[in-house]
Structure 1
Amino acid sequence: MTPLADTHVHLLAGLDDGPPTADVALAMCRMLVTEGARHATALAHQNPCYPDNTADRLRASASALASALAEQNIPLSVYPTGEVMLAPTTLEEWRAGHLMSVGDHKQWLLVEMPHGEFVDVLPLAEALKPEGVRLIIAHAERYAELLDDVALTQTWIEAGCLIQVTARALAEPGAPEFEAALKRWAKGGFIHLLGSDGHGIERRRPKLAPGFARLVKWVGRAHAARIASEWGTAILRGEPVQVPAPCPLGRSWFSRLFGA
């Protein structure tokens, strides 16, 4: 079984709209193990709705969860992470130490758009580059402006951003146009990371395996494993990651991968 890495799952009890209690958080972790996950973000929102979610608070909560997992022999490694809502103050907040990077390695920030808005991440991406920090676009499939414009997506990737998609969106895309756009992203090499965006055990369950299966169908098992396992695991551990450039329009994924 491919050991999956969930790069977007809310596991910090009582900190946001994720699990309300530690018991629910542990139940989610058991679900993830059943799904094939061995690594996962211990994630909570960092936005104006949750002003108390400081980096220190997320760090302490993730540490408590890791201890509970070890005590109960649940084979899931968890990594403190903030889901940062983009704002004019994001750079200032990062430099002040208020924001939690992915895995607390100070290499990647997981960012989402403000509610109902779409903003250009390039200025922030460029400002963070000298500090060795890059952006991961959380649940990127939500943003039609990005999903429907592969040239824009390619520009963001060239600026150092990685694209994360939600497993359920891949497994249950719904509208044919949405499925076609996701498939175009997958086959073109525009998807780098998989997340469940799990929030609980009754709603928005942490499901990864069906999304991974859809990636296998679209791009083959080897590349699906890079997206759903290898790259995510490396990022969560703080290890270097090199992803290939997206496929230029009109050139096949096979050609780009093998230099044909």
Structure 2
Amino acid sequence: MSVQDVERVGFVQEWTEWHRQKEAGLAGPHGFLAITGLHWLSEVPTRFEDAPGAWSSTAEGVVVELDGDEEVAVDGQVVHGRHDFGVLAERAGVYVGWGDAVIEVAKRGGHDIVRPRHPGNALRTAFTGTPAYEPDPRWVLSGRFLPYDTPRPVTVGAAVEGLEHVYDSPGQVEFRLDGAVHRLTAFNGHTPGALMVLFTDKTSGVTTYAANRSLQISAPDAEGTVTIDFNRATNLPCAYTDLATCPLPPAENRLPVAIETGEKIPLERGGRS
């Protein structure tokens, strides 16, 4: 086995472990595949089949009113009767225990929502994994981060019709592919300094999910250099369930090339291995 072959085997093994961990989070007992409902709250207290209590959105924030023996756990404390969650920040959420389920209380696109997560949900229990292209080192590209002087608010659409999300963009990521230069508007990633891009490409709607894919990029180095590993392009939750409010890519992030790597259309949406 050549040095190149050894390096490729290691590359594939690392990708496989990364993908296993990503899938484990998605299909965990209270991951996105466990969601049974997406309930939009109003000022009128409303009960839902998959959650206890009557829920409402008030000027003072989200409120739940529990009847009789109904109880939930908030921050490890058992709660009966009325509980005020207060005003939630955009994209923030609180997770409330109810038996073996978790009730997500959150704000998305300026609206308060309740999203129960039940481990026995059929979408979760039937999940067998997400098809993906074979990882290939040729899709690991070097690029550079082009920061803005100050972060810019960017409004994007959402998987839910009529909903919008606003994200601060710290700048763009530039890279070269097949002789052409491309730029993607970036948002903040999961860790300090890290970046995240949402994009579509020529495979979208053909072999990959039509609406979007997401890619995490480690923080730029001192010279602004970034590593863009398209092998790690992943589906967002909306690729699996209609009970998600995922953002769509900004218009400038629709790549005119085929990124034939990363995750494909989920089997749950008619994809193939």
Q: What TM-score results when the alignment is normalised by the length of structure 2?
A: 0.26
**Structure whose residues are more often helix by fraction:** 1
Q: Which has the higher contact order (CA 8 A, sep 6+)?
A: 1
Q: What TM-score results when the alignment is normalised by the length of structure 1?
A: 0.27
